[in-house]
Amino acid sequence: MAEITEATNMETTPVENNNELALITPETQPKRRKKKSMVWEYFTIETVSAGCRRACCNRCKQSFAYSTGSKVAGTSHLKRHIAKGTCPALLRDQYNNQLTPYNPKTGGSEPRKRRYRSPSSPFIPFDQDRCRHEIARMIIMHEYPLHMVEHPGFIAFVQNLQPRFDKVSFNTVQGDCVATYLREKQSLMKLIEGIPGRVCLTLDMWTSNQTLGYVFITGHFIDFEWKLQSRVLNVIMEPYPDSDSALSHAVAACLSDWSLEGKLFSLTFNHPTSEAGLENLRPLLCTKNPLILNGQLLLGNCIARTLSSMAKDVLGAGHEIVKKIRDSVKYVKTSESHDEKFVQVKNQLQVPSEKSLILDNQTQWNTTYQMLAAGTELKEVFNCLDTSDPDYKLAPSIEDWKVAETLCTFLKPLFDAASILTTTTNPTAITFFHEAWKIHADLGRSITNEDPFISNIAKSMLEKIDKYWKDCSLILAIAVVMDPRFKMKLVEFSFTKIFGEDAPTYIKIVDDGIHELFLEYVALPLPLTPTYTEEGNAGNNGKTDESQQGNLLSDQGLTDFDVYIMETSSQQMKSELDQYLEESLLPRVQEFDVLGWWKLNKMKYPTLSKMARDILSIPVSAAAPDSVFDIIIKQLDEYRSSLRPETVEALICAKDWLHYGSEESNALVKMEF
């Protein structure tokens, strides 16, 4: 094998030009050009004899014709040797890669594999590890069963797609999914460690066909950029979900897992909890977290469950009428000929309704409301349908339709309020203060109705909204005060509508509460987290030695001044809150970024902005958007219930984290006036 020298390589340089190769001598070569073809990563040119050179494969050492005299063979046959899998050394390397335990490369320590395309087919190096990584992501993102990798159909598909792929087992892909979860968890832990404020938790209890409970714990917080974020932190299996200690055990496990002791601000739960259960939670939280308003902000009811419970009462009061209308809709929608006759009668009567009949899902009350709403608008068609279809004998009476319209009147405000939870990325307490007091005021008027059917429904609903208002009105009202468009003015206006002559008493409770909470923030040791230090020093990165000497002097020579600041800070900080409340309200617009406003004004209100950051992160609902209208407890499917609890947690949490990885949440508050 001849030795290659620098001079030899410079004598003649192959240059590609319109798919033809020519030799350029040093006399005619204006500038030496580097070979561009990717094959030269795998081949070396060797001089065999005068005027004859061959390309030698760096892997298997086979040699191929390259140039003889002035004739150059080109690179197509070299590409085929690499791309078509005919190089035995490359095949051995790829086989060995398949046997290597899965350990994805991180940080870019290995050079990226370069790729090239030939006119005949693309060359993409096969990577077993990458394939396993993508299979794990696919299973997590789309909730495919882990056992699918052992299904004959999947194996046949993959073998036809890539014969060199070494099939994986259930245990292997389970390990890959858990590895993905652990990597994502490390990233999330770093994010949570650095957030400037506190974390709020929501608890959503699921059950299973084995009567086991699964507590979904979601963390809500506002990040360094003043964006509202939420992540599923844990899915904890509880053997006895109805026990008084189930939720407290899950919360304790979450606080320990994520090092949230001292950073938990509020809890919102989505499961009926006994007084004994709450008493188990209170000491746990009060022991591990600073007291904020003596714990009044640590527990709150889920608005979605409150609305669903009220809707269930409404539908229960008229269940016989609902069944009659459901049967009529079922008669029309389950037969194409019946549906055509229904449309024909509708056109003949020229009914202006644009709504379409739907058959409801009895586990989600919004579909029942939509069925009733469409049915009442199309009642004339149902009343006349028997003229075109003699087999139809299910038409509700006029009185039945009146009852259905009454049910829709009660359900509509509940539906409108609950819909906000499904259409807004992060519904805030500000929005639901407005919704809750409107529903409360409407029911207060309906309870005096002379019709006992109406008054009884209103009474049942009012009891539940009263309980929600009692538990959460302080949280909702304080959140409203943190909105510069409303402050205390909307609280005063709303409470006057709800409480009448007693309004001043309740208004004073909110005013005292907001001042007490503010004073507790004044007394908190700062910085609360390392990020606060970063915020304060964000514009002071270029410190000089002189400034450092000044800091040293402050530490050693102005101790008495520091004591004076501590003694007088309460009055100064209280003035900060009073100044905010006394300033004029901002113009009321439908879309207003309240978090963006506080971000811009955090230097003007340093302590108040920290309080606003925590208050505005309190979630009003613990239900996922697709569960807002559920009237039954969510149930984990049979397959996932059969997996280990750790695997269930890894699959559910990793899916949520991968989903949020490429999205940014916003804090736009949308309200109708």
> pLDDT tens digit string along 330-353?
999 999 999 999 999 999 888 888
The mean predicted confidence, pLDDT, of the chain is 80
CB 257 within 8 A of CB 186: no
For residues 300 and 185, which has the higher predicted lDDT (pLDDT)?
185
Distance, in Å, from the CA atom of 209 to the CA atom of 524, rounded to the nearest integer, reads 47
Q: Which of 106, 112, 99 is nearest to 41 (CA)?
A: 112
318/438 same-domain check: no
Per-residue confidence (pLDDT) for residue 33, from 0 to 100: 52
Residue 491 domain flag: yes
Residue 139 domain flag: no
Q: Which of 618, 552, 63 is nearest to 297 (CA)?
A: 618
State pLDDT tens for residues 185-211.
999 999 999 898 889 999 999 999 888
Residue 552 domain flag: no
Residue 581 domain flag: no
Distance, in Å, from the CA atom of 508 to the CA atom of 476, rounded to the nearest integer, reads 15
For residues 34 and 24, which has the higher predicted lDDT (pLDDT)?
34
414/456 same-domain check: no
Residue 399 has pLDDT above 80, yes or no: yes
Residue 78 domain flag: yes
465/606 same-domain check: yes
Distance, in Å, from the CA atom of 468 to the CA atom of 305, rounded to the nearest integer, reads 10
Please state the domain count of the chain.
Answer: 4
Residues in the chain: 673
Least confident of 239-243, 303-307, 352-356, 615-619: 352-356
In three-state secondary structure terms, 233 is: strand
CB neighbours of residue 306 within 10 Å: 25
Per-residue confidence (pLDDT) for residue 63, from 0 to 100: 84
**What are 599-607's contacts with CB under 8 Å, separation 24+?**
599/225, 599/226, 602/535, 605/576, 605/580, 606/576, 607/518, 607/521, 607/522, 607/573, 607/576
Residue 97 domain flag: no
Q: Which residues of 312-323 are buried (b: 16+ CB within 10 A; e: fewer)?
A: ebbbebbeebbe
Q: Where are the alpha helices (DSSP H) in 301-397?
A: 303-317, 319-333, 336-349, 365-377, 379-388
Distance, in Å, from the CA atom of 434 to the CA atom of 490, rounded to the nearest integer, reads 9
Residue 609 has pLDDT above 60, yes or no: yes
448/327 same-domain check: no
409/323 same-domain check: yes
Q: What is the mean pLDDT of residues 636-651?
A: 94
Residues forming beta bridges with residue 301, ordered by sequence position: 269
195/311 same-domain check: no
Q: Which of 661, 539, 653, 662 is nearest to 603 (CA)?
A: 539
Given 423, 449, 484, the domain boundary residue is 423
For residues 43 and 300, which has the higher predicted lDDT (pLDDT)?
43
Per-residue confidence (pLDDT) for residue 352, from 0 to 100: 86
Per-residue confidence (pLDDT) for residue 66, from 0 to 100: 80
> 111 pLDDT band (50/70/90 cuts)?
very low
Per-residue confidence (pLDDT) for residue 530, from 0 to 100: 43
Given 401, 423, 445, the domain boundary residue is 423
Per-residue confidence (pLDDT) for residue 84, from 0 to 100: 61
Residue 560 has pLDDT above 90, yes or no: no
Residue 554 has pLDDT above 60, yes or no: no
Per-residue confidence (pLDDT) for residue 37, from 0 to 100: 72
346/446 same-domain check: no
State pLDDT tens for residues 503-519.
999 999 999 889 888 88
Q: Which two tokens stand for residue 271?
A: 């499961």
418/435 same-domain check: no
Per-residue confidence (pLDDT) for residue 367, from 0 to 100: 96
Q: For the CA atoms of 224, 229, 230, 233, what is the dihedral angle to 10 degrees?
A: -20
392/499 same-domain check: no
For residues 333 and 37, which has the higher predicted lDDT (pLDDT)?
333
Residue 459 domain flag: yes
Residue 555 domain flag: no
Per-residue confidence (pLDDT) for residue 418, from 0 to 100: 92
Distance, in Å, from the CA atom of 652 to the CA atom of 673, rounded to the nearest integer, reads 38
Per-residue confidence (pLDDT) for residue 273, from 0 to 100: 78
Per-residue confidence (pLDDT) for residue 426, from 0 to 100: 61
Per-residue confidence (pLDDT) for residue 658, from 0 to 100: 92
Residue 553 has pLDDT above 90, yes or no: no
Q: Which of 615, 584, 268, 605 is nearest to 421 (CA)?
A: 268
Per-residue confidence (pLDDT) for residue 22, from 0 to 100: 43
Given 366, 393, 423, the domain boundary residue is 423
Residue 359 has pLDDT above 90, yes or no: yes
Q: Cis omega before residue 587 (within 30°)?
A: no
CA distances from residue 424 to 413, 419, 527, 591, 599 in whole angstroms, order as listed: 17, 9, 33, 12, 21
Q: CA angle at residue 87 from 85 to 91, to 5 degrees?
A: 65
CA distances from residue 638 to 35, 62, 211 in whole angstroms, order as listed: 59, 57, 11
For residues 393 and 644, which has the higher predicted lDDT (pLDDT)?
644
Q: Which of 170, 261, 202 is nearest to 656 (CA)?
A: 202
407/493 same-domain check: no
Domain residues for 262?
A: 177-286+633-661
331/462 same-domain check: no
pTM above 0.85, yes or no: no
Those residues with Cβ within 8 angstroms of residue 628's Cβ, 6 or more apart along the chain or in another chain: 304, 308, 418, 421, 422, 621
Q: Which residues of 169-185 are buried (b: 16+ CB within 10 A; e: fewer)?
A: eeebbbbbbbbbbeebb
Per-residue confidence (pLDDT) for residue 368, from 0 to 100: 96
CB neighbours of residue 28 within 10 Å: 7
385/442 same-domain check: no
- Amino acid in position 422: T
What are the φ/ψ torsions at residue 364 (nearest 5 degrees)? Answer: -130, 115
